[in-house]
């Protein structure tokens, strides 16, 4: 069974209304489809039905147009489903005066989504983007319209074609598609018409598309899609790194040289051979990186006899005064590129360079953040004799250090210590505070200090050192602090405890400093709180903390969470309103540590419609 459209509208005359000779007829079909794998097939069925209905009403729809409309609808809907994943709005209408059919496909994702799987290798032939060449060949014109929160791709299919532009009429549809995908001779007159009409919108759309990418290889891939086949038959993007720039690539020195990140050609079967030819002859930039495009040798042997001659240009990609790579475009059958094309590609190359520069900056920050995050968390969680443990840790911002942290470590003399904490704020300033707190917790515990004494000393440490260190980190990242915005105290909420296994269970001593209170689920299914609230660390000097001691019997479970769990929101409600966390824990009676932690995590996520907006950490300790 096909996917059921959530909405379908077909414009038609009122019942019984007489048809006026020569009056333009309104013919339009609209549908909203769920963004799933069945959407393209359903879209084709809806359009077929609409075309049949229009013919029954006496509208002139050429038979040839049926197949072309269905191909365009299929490609555009597939593109929207794959790259947006949202509901798809399909509109197909027939213009009464010209007989031209206009297809519009809208989705709710204004830019292309990042791929979370492993990126394709730099020279692997891409498995996407081919459908746009079909659209280019079949449509009189096509484009992309951006609105707030939405993107619409449209195409106009003419009822009558100009001589020489008719797609091949073949008994085998596949052969006709192959002819469309094959390289075609460029038409200079049509180029000039498009450049005069669509160049500015092309640059605007390219800017929107490139600015949202955080991977330099994806920027290079999108550059190829933007240029080929509209402005060039083929293009290539070389990228340079810091060592390349220092070594002076291409001159036989020790530098590794530029990396050929992407090769694109109108014919897929030419890409690999063209790549091998271009690798042997990388472009050699001039002394002035800001100079305009320069000629590049034509790789005729790699392009086949039909493209033995042509013109190629190399553009330096420069952002912030730093050369980042080179873009090369080529077009068969030309002695030189038209000035209009040269200028347009030069404008595009600036946008490509900015996109690559932004992607590299993001990559550097992500690397630093990942290193910081690894350094702030334990490499492994200790295993405690007679206990099972489970941990859930989900930073809200995958690109920066989290404000939540945890630890579980041996303290000697048959003792194990655990901590779950949350620093005020996020990012490098929070990382500095965690970097002070976690090592001091381990040091004080292994020196034999009790739970309350550890919190007393950590409180004083934060008051003495954390403010100064965190402020220094902020200055290093954002520059001098404005007058009146001096150092601010960095608070820390912490649940810290000590475990001592014995024959009948585990003795637990813990203290809670401004942190969500821990809960114990007994074997019989009862839930109780096992600590009392105390002041945050780093707020009041000479604060004295106290601790509580209790026993975990076999089957008892201790649950420790951060406020990302208790304060998870759904509208005006929070997850822990009305003892929601205790109720959730009671529903986990009989579960082992791992499935219990997963159930709490799932309940927290399912509580709100949107993803969590805060870091989330929970630790489960269960006596065997």
Q: What is the DSSP string of 511-577?
A: EEESSPPPEEE-TTS-EEE---EEPPBTTSTT-----EEEEE-TT-EEEEE-HHHHT-EETTEETTT
Position 177 scores a pLDDT of: 40
In angstroms, the Cα distances linking 136 to 130, 229, 460 are 10, 8, 69
Spatial distance between the Cα atoms of 213 and 236, rounded to a whole number of angstroms: 19
Helix (H/G/I), strand (E/B), else coil: 226 = helix
Direct distance between the N- and C-terminal alpha carbons of the chain, in angstroms, rounded to an integer: 50
Position 237 scores a pLDDT of: 95
Position 611 scores a pLDDT of: 86
Which residues of the chain register pLDDT less than 50? 1-8, 12-24, 112-129, 168-187, 246-255, 477-479, 481-487
Q: Which contacts (CB < 8 Å, 24+ apart) does range 9-17 have?
A: 10/50, 10/53, 11/93, 12/53, 12/57, 13/57
Supply the angle between the helices 427-446 and 451-461 in degrees, to the nearest 10. 140
Spatial distance between the Cα atoms of 370 and 184, rounded to a whole number of angstroms: 48
Do 347 and 227 meet the contact criterion of CB atoms below 8 Å apart? no
Spatial distance between the Cα atoms of 451 and 545, rounded to a whole number of angstroms: 9
Residues in a beta bridge with 238: 260, 326
Q: Which residues of 19-38 are buried (b: 16+ CB within 10 A; e: fewer)?
A: eeeeeebebbbbbebbbeee
Spatial distance between the Cα atoms of 437 and 421, rounded to a whole number of angstroms: 9
DSSP code for 166: P
Nearest to 84 by CA among 63, 111, 103: 111
Spatial distance between the Cα atoms of 617 and 194, rounded to a whole number of angstroms: 55
Longest dimension (CA), the chain: 100
Position 553 scores a pLDDT of: 93
Domains of the chain: 1-11+26-182 (3.30.565.10), 192-371 (3.30.450.40), 377-623 (3.60.40.10)
Do 569 and 561 meet the contact criterion of CB atoms below 8 Å apart? no
pTM as predicted: 0.51
**Backbone CA torsion sign across 285, 288, 291, 295:** negative
Pairing relation of β-strands 505-513 and 533-534?
parallel
CB atoms within 10 A of CB 406: 22
Position 251 scores a pLDDT of: 46
Non-local CB neighbours of 252 within 8 Å, separated by 6+ positions: none
Do 134 and 72 meet the contact criterion of CB atoms below 8 Å apart? yes
In angstroms, the Cα distances linking 346 to 224, 227, 353, 436, 624 are 14, 12, 11, 50, 69
Spatial distance between the Cα atoms of 393 and 377, rounded to a whole number of angstroms: 10
Nearest to 394 by CA among 596, 113, 597: 597
In angstroms, the Cα distances linking 84 to 26, 36, 229 are 31, 10, 23
In the numeric block, which tokens belong to residue 611? 């993803």
Non-local CB neighbours of 560 within 8 Å, separated by 6+ positions: 418, 420, 495, 518, 618, 619, 620, 621
Tell me how far the alpha carbon of residue 304 is from its chain's centroid: 38
Spatial distance between the Cα atoms of 218 and 172, rounded to a whole number of angstroms: 36
In angstroms, the Cα distances linking 58 to 21, 103, 153 are 11, 21, 29
In the numeric block, which tokens belong to residue 320? 């912030």
Position 427 scores a pLDDT of: 67
Spatial distance between the Cα atoms of 145 and 150, rounded to a whole number of angstroms: 9
Spatial distance between the Cα atoms of 422 and 616, rounded to a whole number of angstroms: 10
Position 333 scores a pLDDT of: 87
In the numeric block, which tokens belong to residue 87? 């509901």
CB atoms within 10 A of CB 118: 6
Spatial distance between the Cα atoms of 569 and 358, rounded to a whole number of angstroms: 33
Position 19 scores a pLDDT of: 41
Q: H-helix or E-strand containing 510? A: strand 505-513
Phi, psi (rounded to 5 degrees) for 137: -75, -35
Q: Which residues of 559-575 are buried (b: 16+ CB within 10 A; e: fewer)?
A: bbbbbbbbebeeeeebb
Phi, psi (rounded to 5 degrees) for 324: -110, -15
Do 68 and 157 meet the contact criterion of CB atoms below 8 Å apart? yes
């Amino acid at each position: 069974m096909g996917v059921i459209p959530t909405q379908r509208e077909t414009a038609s005359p009122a019942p019984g209304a007489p048809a006026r000779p020569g009056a333009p007829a309104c013919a339009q079909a609209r549908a909203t489809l769920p963004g799933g794998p069945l959407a393209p097939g359903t879209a084709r069925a809806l359009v077929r039905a609409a075309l049949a209905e229009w013919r029954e009403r006496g509208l002139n729809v050429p038979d040839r147009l049926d197949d072309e409309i269905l191909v365009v609808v299929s490609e555009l809907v597939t593109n929207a489903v794959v790259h947006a994943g949202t509901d798809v709005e399909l509109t197909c209408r027939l213009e009464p005066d010209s007989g031209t059919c206009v297809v519009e496909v809208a989705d709710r994702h204004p830019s292309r989504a990042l791929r979370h799987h492993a990126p394709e290798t730099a020279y692997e032939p891409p498995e996407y983007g081919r459908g746009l060449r079909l659209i280019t060949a079949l449509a009189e014109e096509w484009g992309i319209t951006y609105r707030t929160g939405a993107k619409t791709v449209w195409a106009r299919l003419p009822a009558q074609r100009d001589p020489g532009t008719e797609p091949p009429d073949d008994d085998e549809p596949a052969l006709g598609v192959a002819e469309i995908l094959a390289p075609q001779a460029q038409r200079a007159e049509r180029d000039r018409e498009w450049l005069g009409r669509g160049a500015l919108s092309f640059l605007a759309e390219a800017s929107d598309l490139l600015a949202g990418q955080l991977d330099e290889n994806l920027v290079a891939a999108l550059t190829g899609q933007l240029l080929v086949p509209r402005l060039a038959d083929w293009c290539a993007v070389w990228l340079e790194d810091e060592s390349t720039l220092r070594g002076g690539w291409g001159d036989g020195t020790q530098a590794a040289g530029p990396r050929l990140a992407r090769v694109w050609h109108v014919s897929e079967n030419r890409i690999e051979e063209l790549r091998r030819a271009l690798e042997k002859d990388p472009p050699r930039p001039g002394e002035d990186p800001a100079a305009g495009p320069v000629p590049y040798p034509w790789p005729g042997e790699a392009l086949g006899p039909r493209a033995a001659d042509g013109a190629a240009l190399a553009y330096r990609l420069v952002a912030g005064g730093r050369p980042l790579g080179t873009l090369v475009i080529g077009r068969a059958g030309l002695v030189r590129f038209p000035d209009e094309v040269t200028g347009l590609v030069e404008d595009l190359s600036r946008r490509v360079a900015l996109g690559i520069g932004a992607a590299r900056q993001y990559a550097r920050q992500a690397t630093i953040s990942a290193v910081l995050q690894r350094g702030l968390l334990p490499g492994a969680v200790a295993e405690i004799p007679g206990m099972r443990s489970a941990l859930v840790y989900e930073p809200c911002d995958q690109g920066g250090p989290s404000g939540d942290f945890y630890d579980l470590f041996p303290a000697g003399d048959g003792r194990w210590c655990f901590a779950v904490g949350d620093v005020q704020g996020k990012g490098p300033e929070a990382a500095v505070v965690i970097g002070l707190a976690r090592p001091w917790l381990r040091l004080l515990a292994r020196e034999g200090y009790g739970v309350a004494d550890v919190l007393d000393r950590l409180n004083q440490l934060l008051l003495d050192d954390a403010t100064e260190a965190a402020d220094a980190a902020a200055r290093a990242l954002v520059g001098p602090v404005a007058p009146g915005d001096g150092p601010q105290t960095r608070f820390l909420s912490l649940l810290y405890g000590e475990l001592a296994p014995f024959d009948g269970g585990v003795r637990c001593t813990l203290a809670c400093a401004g942190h969500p209170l821990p809960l114990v689920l007994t074997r019989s299914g009862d839930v109780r709180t096992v600590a009392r609230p105390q002041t945050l660390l780093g707020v009041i000097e000479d604060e004295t903390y106290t601790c509580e001691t209790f026993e975990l019997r076999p089957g008892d479970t201790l649950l420790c969470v951060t406020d990302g769990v208790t304060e998870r929101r759904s509208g005006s409600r929070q997850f822990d309103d009305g003892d929601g966390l205790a109720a959730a824990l009671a529903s986990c009676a009989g579960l082992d540590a791992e499935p219990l932690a997963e159930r709490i995590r799932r309940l927290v996520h399912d509580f709100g419609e949107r993803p969590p907006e805060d870091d989330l950490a929970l630790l489960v300790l269960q006596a065997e």
